Amino acid sequence: MRNLRASSARRASHLSRSFVAGIPSIKLIFGKVVALPSRTRITVQMWLHPLVVAFLAFLSYLMAPEAWRALRRLPGGDRGNVVAIVAIWSMAIVFFYVSARRIRAIVIK
């Protein structure tokens, strides 16, 4: 039983290092692997990378005044900015969700 626990500890250490390192992309992945007597419990938390959120917020900030004027039908408004803001955030959410599903499949295997 002791060798099994040592093996599980090495595997847990390797997995936790790989989760903390993360995958270089638009997300941050942190995980914790706990070796239990009957199974191994893996908890994973995923966030958008802070730089990605800052970039999206900055772009939204730049486009927001014209988008607001377009929504209020005031002169100087551009509906393209409304579409751009919605498209940018939608793409980030969709890519995040797709990545989360892919990583979940990897962790389950």
Please report the pLDDT score of residue 50 as a whole number: 85
Asked if residues 12 and 41 have their Cβ atoms less than 8 Å apart, the reply is no
Residue 20 reports pLDDT greater than 70:
no
Task: Give residue-wise pLDDT tens across range 55-75.
Answer: 889 998 998 888 888 888 878
Residue 85 has a CB neighbour count (10 Å cut-off) of: 19
- Average pLDDT across the chain, whole number: 75
Tell me how far apart the alpha carbons of residues 46 and 58 are, in angstroms, rounded to a whole number.
Answer: 22
Sign of CA pseudo-dihedral 92, 93, 96, 102: negative
Model's pTM, two decimal places? 0.59
Please report the pLDDT score of residue 98 as a whole number: 86
Please report the pLDDT score of residue 69 as a whole number: 84
Look at phi and psi of residue 17 and say left if phi exceeds 0, alpha if psi is from -120 to 50, else beta: alpha
Question: Phi and psi for 54 in degrees, rounded to 5?
Answer: -65, -40
Closest to 96 in 3D by CA, of 30, 49, 54, 61: 49
Residue 76 reports pLDDT greater than 70:
yes
Identify the three-state secondary structure at position 89. Answer: helix
